[in-house]
Structure 1
Amino acid sequence: MAKERVTVCVPRCDPGDVPRAIGTVMAPYDYNRVFAPGEPVVETWWDYWRIDGRGCEFPVVPGHEDDPRLIRGTGTPSGLCAGGPRGLLDLETPRARAAAEARRAFETWQEFASGYPPARPMSHFWSRYVADPEHYPQARALEDFRTQPAIAALMERPDLEDLVGGDPVAHLGNDLDTHVRDAANAALPTPALLTLEGHWLSVAGPEGDRHFNDYLDTLPPDAIVVRVLYHG
């Protein structure tokens, strides 16, 4: 049992009615729910929940920071919120920021790595270890990865490693456009999405991220989108 986030979508309603609307759409997924005879059984996910956007708040569309329809917790800055009408949520800024950071990391690594022989990702050495652990132990796999000239040089540049990660060959190996698109799509999703239609969808990987973004983009501007923390 652990705490996790779901982005919940409910139809337009008064701000004071939002918790009730969320409770209604969350109810079918309650661990303690008793299913009626003949009722389809759905997978249950939670035993308690609360509105909570800390760490994954939505930016507010500039000029609407004081709109009373926004949902905020104690101490939430005026430019952020836990949710509100989709039309008041600035969905583009987080995507643009993530895309720019991804582009910078990709281009910086490509420029840096061009001064060294091509490097292999850690998965290459790990596969060799798994195939023959007796003759190619795990310590040897890690050493062979780290002693590649480009990786060894990277390890001496903690500032660069913070930007590109410890295994940039693995996650910066796709083409630039794909890398930037995937980064932008990953900026908003939570691990689950609860749709207006009442469907609880797990969100994982680039395809899940893309669907999450597409769904939010096609919601009516007055539909309510809220970050919810649940224990499950």
Structure 2
Amino acid sequence: MAKERVTVCLPPCDPDVETWWDYWQIDGGGCEFLVVPGHEEDPRLIRGAETLSGEPRNVPPSLCDGGPRALLDLETPRARAAAEARRAFEAWQEFASAYPPGRAFGDFRARHFADPESYSPVQAVEDYRAQPVIAAFLDNPELEEVVGGDPVARLGDDVDALVRHAMDDVLPSNALLTLEGHWLDVANDARRRYFSDYLVGLPADAYAVRVLYHG
């Protein structure tokens, strides 16, 4: 059975919400919320004490599994993601400008799928890596650490779209349960954007809680 995390949005409520769930467990493990600095000890913050298997969790004061939206620092991780995306874009553009334009690996892979008998996946990888800009990029591990893999495909000409995409990737869990009781599986870019906008737009006193469920 699958284990996934849903972000549950609730109206103002008693902070002891963990007892409300049957086999649902409050556990943001890996996707906890940042706490607004100065509010780390606010009793309205929610931190699950145990994992589903009963092991203790040690959630640092700067993180929580949920609480009123006003106590959740949603902007800092989004700002960091935006800055990292912009830095990667600028680093790649500056580096790539010294070479002939490169093609994304997807182009070579598509050629293989179109003619698998004559164009092998090994040849597709070799041809991709033989491009001057990619060969130089692969020989520069420090740049690769900043930029990430397949930069031609990921770092196009639209830096604003790249930044917004990076920001939208930060807050979502596997699913969202809205204040209105609507369940939304977060399966594509449009839904991640909706998730982010919805969470940021919650009333200040509404709760958002990361819940690990087994279903």
- Report if TM-score (shorter chain) is over 0.5: yes
Amino acid at match of 1:149: P
Q: Does 1:183 align with 2:183?
A: no
Rate the CA distance shift 1:171–1:213 in 2: closer, same or farther, 3 A: same
State the Cα deviation string for residues 154-183 of structure 1 (Å, max 9, x = none).
111222212212201111114011101111
The aligned residue for residue 4 of structure 1 is: 4
State the Cα deviation string for residues 191-219 of structure 1 (Å, max 9, x = none).
21011111110113321121011111222
Q: Give ranges in structure 2 of 5+ residues lacking alignment.
A: 49-56
Q: Does 1:58 align with 2:33?
A: yes
The aligned residue for residue 70 of structure 1 is: 45
Q: CA deviation at 1:128?
A: 0.5
Equivalent-residue separation in structure 2 for 1:125 and 1:198 (angstroms): 45
Q: Does 1:207 align with 2:190?
A: yes
Q: CA deviation at 1:20?
A: 4.8
Q: How many residues get paired?
A: 207
Amino acid at match of 1:12: P
Match of 1:97 among 52, 75, 80: 80
Q: For 1:131-150, list aligned pairs within 5 A.
A: 131-150=114-133
Rate the CA distance shift 1:230–1:204 in 2: closer, same or farther, 3 A: same
Q: For 1:164-179, list aligned pairs within 5 A.
A: 164-179=147-162
Q: CA deviation at 1:79?
A: 1.1
Q: Does 1:192 align with 2:191?
A: no
Q: Does 1:221 align with 2:196?
A: no
State the Cα deviation string for residues 53-78 of structure 1 (Å, max 9, x = none).
12111111111111001012432111
Equivalent-residue separation in structure 1 for 2:209 and 2:88 (angstroms): 31
Rate the CA distance shift 1:174–1:8 in 2: closer, same or farther, 3 A: farther
List structure 1 runs of 4+ shifted beyond 6 angstroms: none
The aligned residue for residue 37 of structure 1 is: none
Equivalent-residue separation in structure 2 for 1:61 and 1:93 (angstroms): 9
Q: Give ranges in structure 1 of 5+ residues lacking alignment.
A: 28-47
The aligned residue for residue 99 of structure 2 is: 116
Equivalent-residue separation in structure 1 for 2:175 and 2:10 (angstroms): 15
Amino acid at match of 2:110: S
Equivalent-residue separation in structure 1 for 2:163 and 2:171 (angstroms): 14
Once the two structures are aligned, what percentage of the paired residues are identical?
66
Amino acid at match of 1:116: Y
Equivalent-residue separation in structure 2 for 1:143 and 1:62 (angstroms): 49
Q: TM-score normalized by structure 2?
A: 0.91
Rate the CA distance shift 1:131–1:140 in 2: closer, same or farther, 3 A: same
Equivalent-residue separation in structure 2 for 1:192 and 1:146 (angstroms): 37
The aligned residue for residue 15 of structure 1 is: 15
Structure 2 residue matching 1:166: 3-state secondary structure? coil
Equivalent-residue separation in structure 2 for 1:213 and 1:101 (angstroms): 18
Q: TM-score normalized by structure 1?
A: 0.85
